[in-house]
Amino acid sequence: MLSGLGVLVARRELLRDFAWRELRARYKGSALGFGWNFLIPLLQLAVFWLLFGVLFGVRPRTETGEQPYAVFLFVGLLPWTLFANALQAGSASIVANGAIVKKVCLPTELLPAAAVLASLANFGLSFVVLLAVLLIAGPRHPEGLLAVPLLLAVETVLALGLAYLLAAGAVYFRDVEHILGVLLMAWYFLTPVLFPVAIVADRPTEAFLLHLNPMTAIVVGFQRALLDGAGPEWGWLAYSAAVSIVVFVIGFAVFRRVKDSFEEAL
């Protein structure tokens, strides 16, 4: 395990190059290129504001009171999009780079990690848009930004672990990509992105089950930090961190165990 992690550190320049290659591949042939990282969040915000804020007049309530629905949704959507993109790109990272895996001797551990790193870079660009929206429309809680690196760290470990596990599985079972799309859709609706976690505050059983989802504490942590200027739910974030570490250890170990047969399977 430690030797495998050492490879990521020792070959960090190659990891960065693969991440940059992943980013360029995503926008190859696109007129706007990386500009989509700014345009897509703005388009999403406009759609959500018109649909829920104007037509339905939805006003979700957080710890400090009612929030504009579009902003509330935007805050939760960014970490979820990071997670979904990291899993989708990570799961396909070995199969998509099959020619490189078969012809070039390189640590294959770099490929899923590069996919997750590229998703983080996309998140960073979209997060700039979110900060601009909060600066203009509010709420403004700059102190909440202190919690963002911790939340990102927990989410990245979880995404990496699942990316390694899915990438290894996709080599042998090409249906992983299609199954993952369905699972992510279900997972999305079981995570408090579209709705505030406060709706189950008076239903302890449902609230407990909702928080068993490790993404709940992460998404709620972003909402609390940026909309309320409050810290995360520390107990549940510790649970999510523990799950993330276990998933990473399992995913990385499985990947390392089967990686020597990738070339033959591809």
pLDDT band for position 30 (cuts 50, 70, 90): low
What's the rounded mean pLDDT across residues 1-19? 69
Mean pLDDT of the chain: 86
Nearest Cα residue to 124 out of 104, 152, 164, 92? 152
Could you tell me if 82 and 120 are in contact, meaning their C-beta atoms sit under 8 angstroms apart? yes
Nearest Cα residue to 73 out of 247, 262, 222, 230? 222
Lowest-pLDDT range of 77-81, 142-146, 172-176:
172-176
Q: What is the pLDDT of residue 43?
A: 78
Give the rounded percent of residues in the chain with a pLDDT score beyond 70: 87
**CA 258/CA 141 separation, integer angstroms:** 46
Q: What is the pLDDT of residue 234?
A: 96
Q: How many CB atoms lie within 10 A of CB 157?
A: 20
- Which residues neighbour 217 within 8 Å (Cβ) at sequence distance 6 or greater? 211, 232, 233, 236, 237, 239, 240
- The pTM of this model reads 0.90
Q: What is the pLDDT of residue 255?
A: 93
Does residue 139 have a cis bond before it (omega within 30 degrees)?
yes
Rg over alpha carbons for the chain, rounded to the nearest Å, is 19
- Which residues neighbour 257 within 8 Å (Cβ) at sequence distance 6 or greater? none
pLDDT band for position 53 (cuts 50, 70, 90): low
Could you tell me if 102 and 266 are in contact, meaning their C-beta atoms sit under 8 angstroms apart? yes
Which helix (H) or strand (E) segment is 109 a member of? none
Top-confidence residue, 74 or 222: 222
Q: Is the pLDDT of residue 2 over 60?
A: no
Q: Is the pLDDT of residue 21 over 80?
A: no
Q: Is the pLDDT of residue 126 over 90?
A: no
Q: What is the pLDDT of residue 68?
A: 82
Lowest-pLDDT range of 46-50, 174-178, 257-261:
46-50
- Which residues neighbour 73 within 8 Å (Cβ) at sequence distance 6 or greater? 48, 52, 193, 194
pLDDT by residue (tens digit) across 184-221?
999 999 999 888 998 898 899 999 999 999 999 999 99
Any idea where the domains of the chain sit in the sequence?
Answer: 2-265
Q: What is the pLDDT of residue 25?
A: 72
pLDDT band for position 34 (cuts 50, 70, 90): low
Instruction: Tokens 């672990």: give the residue.
Output: 161
pLDDT band for position 169 (cuts 50, 70, 90): very high
Listing DSSP states for 212-234 in one string gives TSHHHHHHHHHHIIIII-----H
- Ramachandran angles phi, psi of 62, nearest 5°: -115, -165
Q: Which two tokens stand for residue 148?
A: 């963002």
